[in-house]
């Protein structure tokens, strides 16, 4: 949903068309041995209403910290948002103070995590934990909050929710705990849901259930969902658009159909070739050689160059920019970028 601001629309319409989340030129840095290093660099993306953007990448690529920054949760003092804007509903999160942030967290923006047991309070009942957000953000009294919490628990399909309302997290299975966490997140009907690997710890049959539930809720509330995962099967199942991250940068962004049909970045291609598939017999995997550079040893040019099969001198000389090669499909690559695509760039006119 990269909506070019259409002029004819009324003000109300433009609010509806405006992306729920718009990240612009975001750089997040961490201090390693007294030096600031960028964990996320020049990241721009947007998510619209009723849209799921999957943020894909391997461990350490910066996808989780990107989501945390949207919650205003970049750990301080070792981390900082060095530049950029994060607009949620048109309001820049980066420049809000803690008191204002608390009004947004768990209310307009909610997050669910990979491991529900470590995100739920073990000594409080699940009913209390779901109702808490409603008491704090909606100002409901205890009885009204409990009634609403029960409704939400039923909505996420906790079996016999009324009977289990006063149970504690350890009395639930992993899949059910994840449902409780989803109930906490959606209790205040957030405009934006950040889901950080929500199904990674679950068995496949339970994963299928939770993915179905999240998709239903997204449609029911018209939520924008930023879905972080490393599992490309999950991406194909749930995403509308996909952003692939490598070493802190978005290297490719496109609709889910375009990226699976025509991956442009060599890293994206490599990822697809590295997954063993159940619907293929006798496949040959090709691994991506080498490993992700560490945060304090990022190369000067393209960050993927050292592992890239298409590497050229230009790749070490300068960092490529994220550029469109088709409407809604952008790639950060000297070789596969738009300069070569137009056909006459055979001489390699990109830098030198």
Partner 1 sequence: MKDTILSVRGLRKHFTASRGFPRATTVTIRAVDDVSFDVGAGESFGIVGESGCGKSTTGRAILRLIEPDGGTVRYRGIDVLAAPPGALRDLRRRLQIVFQDPYSSLNPRLKVGRALAEPMRVHGLAKSADEIDARVRALLDEVGLPPDSADRFPHEFSGGQRQRIGIARALALEPELIVADEPVSALDVSIQAQVLELLRRLQAQRGLSFVFIAHDLGVVRYFCQRLAVMYLGRIVEMGPAADLFSDPLHPYTRMLRDASPVPDPAMRGRLPRIEGETPSPAAPPSGCHFHTRCPNVMPVCRERYPSAVEIGTRQVSCHLYGTSAT
How many Å apart are CA 292 and CA 162, to the nearest integer? 48
When asked if residue 318 is in the footprint of partner 1 (CB under 8 A), the reply is no
Size of the site for partner 1 (CB under 8 A): 45
When asked if residue 275 is in the footprint of partner 1 (CB under 8 A), the reply is yes
Could you tell me the two tokens for 145? Answer: 């909050």
Q: Which is nearer to partner 1, 97 or 282 (CB)?
A: 282
Bridge partners of 26, per DSSP, are 43
Only one residue has tokens 């989780």, namely: 64
Q: Which of 24, 58, 115, 323 binds partner 1 (CB under 8 A)?
A: 58
Pairing of strands 322-326, 79-88: unpaired
Binding mask 81-120 for partner 1 (x = CB under 8 A): ----------------------------------------
DSSP string for 195-210: EESTTTTS-HHHHHHH
When asked if residue 141 is in the footprint of partner 1 (CB under 8 A), the reply is no
The minimum distance between CB 48 and partner 1, in angstroms, equals 18
Residue 79: other Cβ atoms inside 10 A: 18
Q: How far is CA 91 from CA 22, 42, 268, in A?
A: 10, 19, 32
When asked if residue 346 is in the footprint of partner 1 (CB under 8 A), the reply is no
Only one residue has tokens 């590497």, namely: 311
The minimum distance between CB 284 and partner 1, in angstroms, equals 9
The minimum distance between CB 277 and partner 1, in angstroms, equals 5
End-to-end CA gap in the chain: 35
Residue 122: other Cβ atoms inside 10 A: 9
When asked if residue 13 is in the footprint of partner 1 (CB under 8 A), the reply is no
The minimum distance between CB 304 and partner 1, in angstroms, equals 11
Q: Which is nearer to partner 1, 134 or 232 (CB)?
A: 232
Only one residue has tokens 């025509």, namely: 262
When asked if residue 296 is in the footprint of partner 1 (CB under 8 A), the reply is no
Q: Which is nearer to partner 1, 85 or 329 (CB)?
A: 329
How many Å apart are CA 233 and CA 138, to the nearest integer? 37
How many Å apart are CA 204 and CA 294, to the nearest integer? 32
When asked if residue 45 is in the footprint of partner 1 (CB under 8 A), the reply is no
Tell me the HSE value of 301 on the side-chain side, using a 13 A CA sphere.
Answer: 19
When asked if residue 79 is in the footprint of partner 1 (CB under 8 A), the reply is no
Q: Which stretch binds partner 1 (CB under 8 A): 30-38, 107-115, 136-144, 265-273?
A: 265-273
Q: Give the residues lining the site for partner 1 (CB under 8 A).
A: 58-59, 173, 175-176, 203-209, 211-212, 230-237, 239, 256-257, 260, 270-281, 283, 285-289, 291
């Amino acid at each position: 949903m990269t909506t070019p601001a259409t002029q004819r629309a009324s003000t109300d319409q433009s609010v509806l068309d405006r992306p729920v989340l718009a990240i612009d030129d975001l750089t997040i840095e961490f201090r390693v041995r007294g030096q600031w290093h960028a964990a996320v660099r020049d990241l721009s993306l947007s998510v619209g209403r009723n849209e799921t953007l999957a943020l894909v990448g391997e461990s350490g690529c910066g996808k989780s910290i990107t989501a945390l920054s949207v919650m205003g949760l970049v750990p301080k003092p070792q981390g900082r948002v060095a530049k950029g804007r994060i607009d949620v509903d048109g309001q820049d999160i980066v420049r809000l103070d803690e008191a204002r942030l608390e009004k947004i967290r768990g209310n307009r923006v909610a997050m669910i995590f990979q491991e529900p047991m470590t995100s739920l309070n073990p000594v409080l009942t699940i009913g209390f934990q779901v109702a808490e957000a409603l008491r704090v953000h909606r100002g409901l009294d205890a009885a009204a909050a409990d009634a609403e919490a029960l409704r939400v628990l039923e909505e996420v399909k906790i079996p016999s929710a009324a009977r289990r309302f006063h149970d504690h997290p350890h009395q639930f299975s992993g899949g059910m705990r994840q449902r409780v966490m989803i109930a906490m997140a959606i209790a205040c009907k957030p405009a934006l849901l950040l889901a950080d690997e929500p199904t990674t710890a679950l068995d496949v049959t339970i994963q299928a259930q939770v993915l179905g539930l999240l998709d239903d809720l997204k449609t029911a509330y018209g939520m924008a969902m930023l879905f972080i995962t490393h599992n490309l099967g999950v991406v194909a199942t749930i995403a509308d658009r996909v952003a692939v991250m490598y070493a802190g940068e978005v290297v490719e962004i496109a609709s889910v159909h375009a990226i699976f049909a025509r991956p442009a970045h060599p890293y994206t291609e490599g990822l697809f070739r590295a997954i063993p598939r159940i619907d293929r017999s006798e496949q040959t995997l090709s691994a991506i050689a080498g490993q992700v550079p560490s945060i304090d040893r990022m190369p000067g040019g393209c960050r993927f160059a050292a592992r890239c099969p298409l590497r050229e001198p230009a790749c070490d000389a300068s960092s490529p920019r994220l550029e469109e090669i088709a409407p809604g499909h952008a790639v950060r690559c000297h070789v596969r970028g738009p300069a070569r695509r137009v056909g006459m760039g055979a001489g390699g006119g990109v830098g030198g």
